[in-house]
Amino acid sequence: MLDKLKSLEEKYLELSEMLSQPDTVSDLSRYQKLSKALSDLTDIVNAYRDYKEVLHNIEEAESLLRENLESDFRELVEQELDENRERKADLERMLQMLLLPKDPNDDKNVIMEIRAGTGGEEAALFAATLFRMYSRYAERQGWKTDIMDVSYSDLNGFKEIIFVIEGKGAYSRLKYESGVHRVQRIPVTESGGRIHTSAATVAVLPEAEEVELEINPNDLRIDLYCSSGPGGQSVNTTQSAVRITHIPSGLVVTCQDEKSQHKNKDKAMRVLRARLLEMTKAEKEAEIADTRRGMVGTGDRSERIRTYNYPQGRVTDHRAGLTLHKLDAVLEGDLDEIINALVTQDQTEKLKQVDQD
């Protein structure tokens, strides 16, 4: 590990030197690329330097304790030694985490797809609740949310909603949200006051950049139609809604949120690129099953990753084994405690895999 850290520090110094060169400063593209590389190394290099300082402090303290010291001074040195040894252990764990392979998609924007699952109209209303929760979380992070396409239910819930969340590190935080979310509550459609269980599926895709895959225009069929609102009512008389079919894969993407046909087409292409990138990765990894279906399941109640229980005011994430009695706060976008637990669990599993290898 120390050899790897030393090599990264040398790379960091090399990048710093390159960034100060006049020819780099004058080349914006090169400057941005090198700045990004330097930024990616900053945390681990700073931690490594702290680690080297702690090792030096431990060595000095151990050297002092080999001498004849007065009792008060010896006690002080021993106390500092214990503190540095604890700090050393903490830094070693931190460095192990920082050395784990980074998901190349972590810094990307995300395209999220929420669909009503089991539960009919109540599931559609819950899908709208989830969208509001993620929108609130994005606001807390300083990220931007933009709806790509939405299909309403009769009570203004969402049969399906597709939206993008733009912000640095969005995928690194939200990628854990993929799966089936279950809700237990008394539906507005229930006159007898009985608690029902419904579900909605969430899929999280990293937004693909145009340079990551090339889409042949001849492989696309683009259809135009009038957009519709709740209950299928027409909301305008111009053909601004766009449906794009990627013929080789059979993927179909629609967008009708904007009044502009051009904007709807651009949004639909963003969704299509994300889905195609996901399929491409699945093929490279020799995954035969449909990636998106594997991501969200069928929408059945039993395939849940998280349960939102309204009567008891609690949220349970079944993967992390975490239960929080603050449902209202979570639905207002207070998701960090849950996401942090999932990040920790993911890192722990990766560390175990490294140890086994």
Categorize the per-residue pLDDT at 238 as very low, low, confident or very high, splitting at 50, 70 and 90. Answer: low
Q: Provide the CATH number for the domain formed by 110-211+300-348 in this structure.
A: 3.30.70.1660
Q: Provide the CATH number for the domain formed by 213-284 in this structure.
A: 3.30.160.20
Mean pLDDT of the 124-131 span: 96
At residue 33, φ and ψ (nearest 5 deg) are -65, -45
pLDDT at 183 over 70: yes
Predicted local distance difference test score (pLDDT) of residue 230: 54
* Bigger pLDDT: 339 vs 192: 339
What's the distance, Cα to Cα, between the start and end of the chain in Å? 14
Write out the two tokens for 164: 């993008």
- Kindly give the pairing relationship between strand 158-166 and strand 179-185: unpaired
pLDDT at 245 over 60: yes
Residue 337, judged by CB atoms within 10 A of its CB (0-12, 13-18, 19+), counts as middle
pLDDT at 288 over 70: no
Contact 48, 8 (CB under 8 A): yes
Categorize the per-residue pLDDT at 105 as very low, low, confident or very high, splitting at 50, 70 and 90. Answer: confident
Percent of the chain with pLDDT over 90: 53
Verdict on whether the full-model pTM lies above 0.85: no
Q: How many CB atoms lie within 10 A of CB 234?
A: 10
pLDDT at 231 over 80: no
Render pLDDT for 199-214 as a digit per residue (tens, 0 to 9): 999 999 998 876 567 7
Predicted local distance difference test score (pLDDT) of residue 319: 92
Please tell me the least confidently modeled range out of 31-45, 133-147, 256-270, 276-290: 276-290
Categorize the per-residue pLDDT at 32 as very low, low, confident or very high, splitting at 50, 70 and 90. Answer: confident
Mean pLDDT of the 248-268 span: 87
Return the SS3 of 259. Answer: coil
pLDDT at 296 over 70: no
Q: How many CB atoms lie within 10 A of CB 171?
A: 22
Write out the two tokens for 308: 């939102």
State the chain's mean pLDDT as an integer. 86
- Give kind and range of the element (H or E) at residue 159: strand 158-166
Render pLDDT for 66-100 as a digit per residue (tens, 0 to 9): 988 888 899 999 999 999 999 999 999 889 888 87
- Give Cβ neighbours of residue 1 (< 8 Å, ≥ 6 apart): 95, 96, 99
58: closest CA among 92, 97, 26?
92
Write out the two tokens for 104: 């190349």
151: closest CA among 254, 246, 242?
254
Mean pLDDT of the 241-263 span: 87
